[in-house]
Structure formats: structure tokens, C-alpha cells
Structure 1
Amino acid sequence: MSRIGRLPVEIPKGTDVKVEGNVVTVKGPKGELKKEFHKDMKIVVEDGKIFVKRPSDEREHKALHGLTRALIQNMIEGVNKGFEKTLEVQGVGYRVQKQGKKLVLSLGFSHPVEVDEVPGIEYVVNENKITVKGVDKQLVGQVAAQIRSLKKPDPYLGKGIKYSDEVLKLKEGKTGKK
């Protein structure tokens, strides 16, 4: 049996969970999430806990068992605490500003780059740092990755957009032969 899949998911107070077939809806203080899971997985709510059961020991069902439980756990954590990713903009003349609901980034191009706000995602700008916040873990990571892809960190100088916990290993430049 899956070590992660067999663990129950605790439902905190103030969180409402509805299971209709293979569709799980979670409401909490920060928002609401709804997700459809694989039809073979059986999701049961008992005594303030969510249990995920699988029909057989096939390889696919074993993989789906732990995945389904982890996704439900992330949904509950998201509507209660929320998720965030922090990005840093590094480089001379590289700036980030928030204008209304969109980000305006100066990244060394001939024009500023504008990033519109995605529904369910909030941007917080503090000097050269961008914090992407939201209740859906997958969406927060995807939006942060899209912002980072606008100007990935240069391997020689280190300038660009990087995650705050990302460690860059800079390459040594060319050396002339004598």
C-alpha cells in the first residue's frame, strides 16, 4: 500500500469539503478550489478526515493513490494558508513595478514587458522582489515559472529573474591564451 496514499488528510476547522463522485470541492478562509480526480480512486470523508482508497494493486492505481492524496492535501493547505513563490530581479537597470493589476518589468529589452494578473493569483512587489501568491499550488508555480522565463539568469553574470531560493553557479569567462 502507498505510504503517502494511506495517510488520512485532516480537515481543519473552518474548512468545508464536499465529495461528489470523483469531484472534490474545498472551501476555506482564503478561497475555494474544485478538482476532478481519476474515476478509479475512491475518496471518502469520515470523522473530519479524508481517506483515499484504490481498487487494486496495479501499478497505475498505486501511482494514482499517493498522487490523489497529495493533491487533496495541497487543496486543503491552499484554502487555509495559501502558497507563494518569491522571484528576484537582478541586474543593472532591471526593475519591476506594479501598475494596477499588472507587472511592468524593465529587463534590458528595448521595451518594457507587461505581465497581466491571472485570476486567483496576486502579485506583491517589494523593490527587486516579486511574490506570487494564490491558493492553487500548481497555478502559483506555473505563473512564477512564466515570469522567470521572461529573462532567465545569465550563467556568466547572474543577471535576470531567479527564484529567491535558487542558487546560481556562475561559469568562468573566457581566458586568453598567451
Structure 2
Amino acid sequence: MSRIGKRPVELPKGVTAEIKGQTVQVKGPKGTRSFTATDDVDITMDGNAIVVRPRSLNKVARQQWGMSRTMVANLVTGVTDGFKRELELVGVGYRATMQGKALQLALGYSHPVVYEAPEGVTLSVNKNTEVTVEGIDQQVVGEVAAEIRNWRRPEPYKGKGIRYKGEYIFRKEGKKK
């Protein structure tokens, strides 16, 4: 039995949910999000909570049960608080600036890297070495952060590159004479 799937998703004040068939649409102060579940689970409203139950107890239905409940919980979190990923730029001359709505990165290349944020994601530069990615969709926020990080991944010898805030980089020892 799924321990995650058993728990109902409580709707905080100011958030409304609408269920049509297998589609859940959640509206909140930050926007509107929706999720369509597979036919292996039932999604129902129980007072001020959304309950997800499997239609059968086969392996696929049990897998979809916990995943569907987590996806609905992420919808509620996204429209109330939103999601946020923070990146750090480590290295001599590595810096970030905002150019309108685009992020401009100096990463040691012969040219600056300009990154346009997709719809629904806001980029901000706190210091010139810290970038914050925010939005209501956890998957899109994580994908944007990963795309920015891929321009210069942290290397293991000096630790230079773009890393997630708080990420541990396994350091290697250099050559010896």
C-alpha cells in the first residue's frame, strides 16, 4: 500500500480545485495549473481535500497512485507558494546580469551567454554570482535551472562552474610531481 497515496491533499484557504473526469484543475493566488491522471486511479473531492485512490491493486495502479497524489500536491504548492531553485556561479570572472527579461552570463567563453526564460518562469540575479529561478511549475523550474547549469557544469579540480545552492562538489586531487 502506498503511504504517500493514502494521505489526502488539503486545499489551503484561497485555493479552489475542479475535477472533470481524470483532470484536476487548481486555481490559486499565483495562477492556474492542471494535471491529467491515468485511468488507473480515481480522483475525488472530499470536503476541502482531494483524495486519490487506485482502481485496482495491480502493480501499475499502485505506482500511479502515489505519483498522481504527489502531482496533485505539487499543483497546490505551485499555485500557493511557487517553486524556487537557486544557482551559484563559482569562478574568476563568472558573473550574471539581467538584460531586460533575459539572463546574461559571463562564463569564460569568448562571448556572453544570453538565456531567455520560458513563459511562466522568472529569473532574478541577487548578487552578480547568484541566480534565482522561480515559477509555479516544479518541472519547468527544475528544467530551466538545469539548462543554465549545463552552460558550465562544476568541475571536480577547482570547483569552478554553475552549481545549485548548497550542492556538494566532490573534489579531486590534481597531478603530483
Other structure's SS at 2:5 match: coil
Distance in 2 of aligned mates of 1:112 and 1:88: 17
In the alignment, structure 1 residue 170 sits paired with structure 2 residue 166? no
Distance 1:165 1:85 in 2: 11
Q: Which residue of structure 2 lines up, in the alignment, with residue 149 of structure 1? A: 150
Structure 1: gaps of 5 or more residues: none
Moved over 4 A (4+): none
- 1:113-168 Cα deviation digits (max 9, x unpaired): 11001101001101210000001111111111111011001110111100001011
Q: Secondary structure at the match of 1:122?
A: strand
Task: Give 1:49's aligned amino acid.
Answer: A
Equivalent positions of 1:92-131 (< 5 A) are 92-127=92-127, 128-131=129-132
SS at match of 2:4: coil
TM-superposed CA distance for 1:46, in Å, is 1.5
Amino acid at match of 1:148: R
Query: Secondary structure, in 3 states, of the residue corresponding to 1:172?
Result: coil
Letter in 2 for 1:174: K
Q: CA deviation at 1:30?
A: 0.9
**Equivalent residues of 2:154, 2:162 under 8 A apart:** yes
Distance, in Å, in 1 between the alignment partners of 2:37 and 2:55 is 14
SS at 2:3 equivalent: coil
Q: Post-superposition shift, 1:55?
A: 1.0
Q: CA deviation at 1:39?
A: 2.1
Supply the AA of the counterpart residue of 2:54. Answer: R
User: C-alpha separation between the residues in 2 aligned to 1:60 and 1:53?
Assistant: 13
Q: Deviations over 1:4-35 (max 9, x none)?
A: 11111101110010111111111100111112
The CA distance in 2 between the partners of 1:117 and 1:100, in whole Å, is 11
- Report how many residues are paired: 176
Q: Provide the C-alpha distance between the structure 1 equivalents of 2:131 and 2:48, rounded to a whole number of angstroms.
A: 37
* TM-score normalised by length of structure 2: 0.97
Task: Look up the equivalent residue of 1:142 and give its one-letter code.
Answer: E
The residue type paired with residue 116 of structure 2 is D
Q: Percent identity?
A: 44
In the alignment, structure 1 residue 159 sits paired with structure 2 residue 155: no
| TM-score where L is the length of structure 1 | 0.97
The aligned amino acid for 1:111 is: H
Partner of 1:4: helix, strand, or coil? helix
